[in-house]
Amino acid sequence: MTKPMSPKRALPGPRDVLSRAALLLDLDGTLLDIAPTPDAVVLEPATARHLALLHKGLDGALAVVSGRRLDDIDRILAPLRLPAAVEHGALLRLHPDEEARRGPLPEPLPAWRDRAQDFVDARPGMLFEPKTVGFVLHFRRAPEHGEEARAFMESLAGENPAFEVLQASMAWEMRPRGVDKGVGVRALMAEPPFAGRMPVFIGDDDTDKDGIAAAEALGGMGFLVPDAFGGPAEVRAWLASLAEGLERGAG
């Protein structure tokens, strides 16, 4: 199991970030406050402005690395579009105006999606979230069904060894084996505008530890919100300080 870096490590300042870094940001629980449902998250206008400034100031080397679908990210950030590694690295978009690339990954059987939807429909409060190469069962509003949902998802994964079940924030996710946020970080950092920069990855839970490990292996830094920040508000404040540094000429 990969481990988060030490929480004592100092965050890079505006000059370091703007001169040589690539910012790689998780979304839920990192940039955005957790909401009761995935569709209920809100991006503050000031944060959208700061992200736009940083994306331009970093010559495009700012990306979202998330388990979400790409259309979800574009909806949340609209009208801003950013590079992204989504669905835990399964799809990659290096530039805002290009189509996402998808690797040769299996898709879950249609019958699995149908069975998962039936499972959720029978348990009020649960949510089914489809993805391109997997799906998620959310139990934030029905925590009493969490363990039952885990057992159900593991029973499905047992039918096809190409898939695994991942624990997320009050959710269980089905995804192809070999896909994680570290894959997304490495893919982003291999090509312009990210190549040659120092990756700085920020996430908030176990799904982000592979991204942290990849950033550190590439000579960069990784931070978990519970260790390095008090919560998403502090992440947004740090990004605001970077954007303000950019406007002042990173002095």
Other beta carbons within 10 Å of 158:
10
205 given a catalytic annotation: no
16, 26, 39, 71: which is the annotated catalytic residue? 26
Which of 185, 161, 89 lies closest to 132 in space, CA to CA? 89
- With contact defined as beta carbons under 8 Å apart, do 134 and 87 qualify? yes
Place of tokens 């950013």: 82
Q: Phi/psi at 60 (nearest 5 deg)?
A: 95, -5
- With contact defined as beta carbons under 8 Å apart, do 212 and 222 qualify? yes
Other beta carbons within 10 Å of 210:
24
- What is the C-alpha separation between 8 and 188, in angstroms, rounded? 27
* Residues carrying an active site annotation: 26
